[in-house]
Structure 1
């Protein structure tokens, strides 16, 4: 598996809120994380006022974005 910035931080077997990911990555707003996820084309789920993302889908999106031409 390719080494990425999220190794050891985001677990494939968990589901995260954008608020939790914001705390993990040290940003102040969950909306910032949601925009990052949208840019990486990572599938997100909205339930009421909460936004969720699968750790597995997050990893796949990061790996896809690393392979894009710069």
Structure 2
């Protein structure tokens, strides 16, 4: 499964490094994190990590799988 997380504001490099399994793209008013999520436990763990670091997830969506 692939997911995209839209986080409010700019995310610093050190905070971004707390998510090594996700790619990151800064946008004008938010930051996009995206990448593979192995299972539901991993998904909830990512959400808890965002929260524990004070990052506000404003949108989350599952992305289509990449063609193999």
What is the TM-score normalised by the length of structure 2?
Answer: 0.37
**Structure (1 or 2) with the greater helix fraction:** 1
The one of the two structures with greater contact order (alpha-carbon pairs below 8 A, sep at least 6) is 2
What is the TM-score normalised by the length of structure 1?
Answer: 0.36
